[in-house]
């Protein structure tokens, strides 16, 4: 009997260490189309054109809604007529029964366990990433908590504005609230534990000299350099939530602030803003990003590290083309108090560099812009709206968490345990 039990146990452990073959295909990185579902937004999904070669991602979000709200509460349903004409024009028709995925597999078995330390994603990025966290909570009808980094129980007095993607409350203890720790926790339906947690670490790009510490940027707060923010802000907060070795996924982004920094520098030196990034700028960004990646790996050695690439802004918004537009041939730009005609070379250069650095460092990539291309009208300047941007962002976070938790290298798995 003892030998039989030992054989059963070892076979189970061996199966758990084989890895997951679905990691070989990243549906969000494939050529495809975004099916925007207005009547049931949680069913919005990216579908690869070659579905036989790469299947769409599982329906994570509807399954997560049921897990965290119960079988008797259906995902939010809306009448398409409440959306604008622009939304209705891009919305996809509901999939027919023959086209809809018929898999009976549970999309989220990796989230069903009650754990002492809930599955955790840290997003290290800018206001787009902060909004992605807020959207995640909005999708699941939960509230975002905002707190000081060194005391996560020290909250600004409420009430919070109804939509934190559009505005925050007044400064709190010297901090613009946009720069404070934001946390989204999705509890199980019965209140017994947390199904998953998303926290953010806001930073100002690869700037190493605190050049954004100026009256023009009243949301700036020391420390400015990203490595110091990781060590002095993010880590103290995460230690209060269980420790850096309890983080499953770290998603890194740097781009918007870097392009703004290049613009400020070029404006000061009167360098032309209508040419691509210089070799010196490209080399500088590459060196800074590689150093940041190494720092995150050292700080979060057990986490899956993912890089998010830039997306494009709304072409119709004056003042944003300089920052992110690759394909707008000519547009007006207002940056660093200068109004110039500019081509969209800069973000194209940086997107290519982001891809190269991430791949050479062995990082998986979430190309937010690839999935959202063509939906620039559904953004507020540089910030994607909840539908479809927030849904795509949430879908990716759950997918990255699945890959991390199901990986044979996950810190939660071993021969004698499987947390």
- Total structural domains within the chain: 1
Contact 382, 295 (CB under 8 A): no
Query: Which residues of the chain fall below pLDDT 70?
Result: 1-24, 93-104, 268-275, 314-345, 414-419
Number of CB atoms found within 10 A of residue 31's CB: 9
Is residue 416 one of the residues assigned to a domain?
Answer: no
Which candidate, 106, 33, 95, places its Cα nearest to that of 67? 106
Is residue 74 one of the residues assigned to a domain?
Answer: yes
Q: Per this entry, what is the length of the chain?
A: 419
- 374 conformational bin, left if phi > 0, alpha if psi -120 to 50, beta if neither: left
Q: Which two tokens stand for residue 248?
A: 């499953």
Is residue 179 one of the residues assigned to a domain?
Answer: yes
Q: Give the chain's count of helices (H) and strands (E).
A: 12, 13
Q: Residue 123: what are its φ and ψ, rounded to 5°? A: -105, 115
Please give the C-alpha separations between residue 291 and each of 87, 221, 249, 298, 363, in angstroms, as whole numbers.
42, 22, 19, 11, 14
Is residue 197 one of the residues assigned to a domain?
Answer: yes
Is residue 414 one of the residues assigned to a domain?
Answer: no
User: Using one digit for the tens of pLDDT, what is the confidence trace for 64-87?
Assistant: 999 999 999 999 888 888 888 888
Q: Residue 245: what are its φ and ψ, rounded to 5°? A: -80, 5
Is residue 419 one of the residues assigned to a domain?
Answer: no
Q: Distance between CA atoms of 308 and 366, rounded to whole angstroms?
A: 5
Pairing state between β 379-380 and 383-384: antiparallel
CATH number of the CATH domain containing 383:
3.40.50.1110
Is residue 283 one of the residues assigned to a domain?
Answer: yes
Q: Which two tokens stand for residue 245?
A: 């070795």
State which residues form the domain around 235: 2-96+105-406
51 HSE (CA, 13 A, CB side): 10
Contact 124, 251 (CB under 8 A): yes
Biggest alpha carbon–alpha carbon distance for the chain: 81
User: Using one digit for the tens of pLDDT, what is the confidence trace for 259-313?
Assistant: 889 888 877 666 655 667 888 989 999 999 999 999 999 999 999 999 999 998 7
Is residue 418 one of the residues assigned to a domain?
Answer: no
């Amino acid at each position: 009997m003892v030998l039989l039990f030992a054989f059963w146990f070892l076979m189970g452990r061996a199966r758990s260490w084989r890895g997951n073959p679905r990691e070989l295909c990243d549906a969000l990185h494939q050529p495809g189309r975004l099916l925007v579902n207005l009547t049931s937004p949680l069913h919005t999904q990216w579908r690869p054109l070659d579905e036989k070669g790469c299947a769409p991602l599982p329906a994570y979000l509807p399954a997560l809604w049921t897990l965290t709200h119960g079988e008797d509460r259906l995902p939010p349903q809306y009448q398409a007529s409440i959306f604008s004409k622009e939304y209705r024009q891009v919305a996809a028709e509901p999939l027919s029964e023959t086209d809809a995925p018929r898999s009976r597999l549970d999309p989220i078995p990796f989230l069903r366990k009650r754990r002492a330390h809930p599955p955790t994603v840290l997003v290290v990025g800018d206001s787009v990433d902060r909004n992605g966290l807020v959207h995640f909570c909005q999708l699941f009808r939960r509230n975002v908590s905002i707190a000081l980094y060194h005391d996560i129980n020290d909250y600004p007095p409420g009430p919070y504005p109804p939509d934190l993607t559009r505005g925050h409350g007044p400064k709190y203890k010297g901090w613009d609230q946009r720069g404070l720790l934001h946390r989204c926790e999705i509890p199980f339906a019965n209140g017994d534990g947390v199904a998953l947690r998303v926290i953010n670490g806001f930073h100002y790009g690869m700037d190493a000299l605190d050049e954004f510490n100026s009256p023009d940027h009243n949301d700036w707060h020391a420390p400015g350099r990203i490595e110091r923010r990781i060590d002095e802000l993010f880590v103290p907060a995460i230690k209060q939530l269980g420790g850096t070795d309890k983080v499953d996924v770290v998603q890194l982004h740097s781009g918007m602030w870097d392009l703004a920094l290049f613009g400020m520098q070029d404006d000061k030196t009167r360098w032309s803003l209508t040419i691509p990034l210089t070799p010196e700028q490209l080399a500088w960004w590459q060196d800074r990003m590689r150093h940041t990646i190494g720092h995150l790996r050292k700080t979060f050695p057990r986490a899956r590290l993912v890089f998010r690439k830039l997306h494009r802004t709304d072409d119709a918004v004056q003042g944003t083309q300089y920052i992110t537009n690759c394909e707008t041939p000519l547009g007006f730009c207002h940056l660093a108090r200068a109004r110039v005609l500019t081509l969209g070379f800069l973000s194209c250069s940086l997107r290519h560099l982001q891809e190269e650095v991430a791949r050479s460092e062995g990082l998986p990539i979430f190309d937010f812009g690839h999935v959202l291309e063509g939906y620039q009208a559904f953004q507020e300047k540089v910030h994607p709206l909840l539908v479809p941007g927030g849904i795509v962002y949430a879908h990716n976070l759950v997918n990255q968490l699945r890959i991390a938790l199901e990986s044979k290298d996950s810190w939660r798995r071993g021969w004698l345990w499987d947390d």
